[in-house]
Amino acid sequence: MNRLLINMKNKIDIINGAIDMIYRLQKGETIHLNGLHKIDVKAKEGTHNDFNQRLCELFEERENLQIRVNRMRA
């Protein structure tokens, strides 16, 4: 399989994870990030429109990537 195709599929998975995190933040959940530093992230009040705008951008980016992946497979 083409390395570019693999990278694009991985990016789609990352976008799906970001979409899931936004949905969790909208529900008021706290997200625990573990990496070099451990960070807890919680949404501020009044960010509902920001979430919706970012979700739209992520959905559009994911759709464009999926179209490119499908073209490369054909």
Residue 53 lies in a domain: yes
Backbone angles phi, psi at 31, to 5 degrees: -100, 130
Answer yes or no: is pLDDT of 22 > 80: yes
Residue 40 lies in a domain: yes
What is the per-residue pLDDT for 9? Answer: 92
Answer yes or no: is pLDDT of 24 > 70: yes
> For the chain, how many structural domains are there in total?
1
Residue 74 lies in a domain: no
With cut-offs at 50, 70 and 90, classify the pLDDT of residue 18: very high
Residues 28-68: tens digit of each pLDDT: 888 888 888 888 888 777 667 888 999 999 999 999 999 99
Residue 18 lies in a domain: yes
Report residue 63 as tokens.
């759709």
Residue 50 lies in a domain: yes
Residue 37 is given by DSSP the state S
What is the per-residue pLDDT for 33? Answer: 85
What is the per-residue pLDDT for 46? Answer: 63
Domain span at residue 16 reads 3-68
